[in-house]
Amino acid sequence: MKIKYFEDTDTALLEFSEHPVFETKEINENIYLDLDENGNLIGMTIEHAMSQANISEVSFQQINRQVA
């Protein structure tokens, strides 16, 4: 996964895959989802990212599977 932030437009681009984008769906006026030809999520664009997604702080935490 890659996250790109464009400060000049306050836009965040989250890339989950490098597959070609087949379709973009508007979730609301600030959030767009990019899908491949099979409907799989390829990326997400967030306009006004500072207020919409608190992009000033990004963290990653992997939770390991518990084995019983």
**Contact of 11 with 61, CB cutoff 8 Å:** no
pLDDT-derived band of residue 48, with 50, 70 and 90 as boundaries? very high
Condensed to tens digits (0 to 9), the pLDDT of residues 29-42 reads 999 999 999 999 99
Q: Which two tokens stand for residue 17?
A: 């895959």
Burial zone of 25 (CB within 10 Å; 0-12 exposed, 13-18 middle, 19+ buried): exposed
Strand partners, 63: none
Q: Which two tokens stand for residue 43?
A: 């990326």
Condensed to tens digits (0 to 9), the pLDDT of residues 22-31 reads 999 999 999 9
Report the chain's C-alpha Rg in angstroms: 14
pLDDT of 4 reads 93
Rounded mean pLDDT of 45-59?
85
pLDDT of 15 reads 96
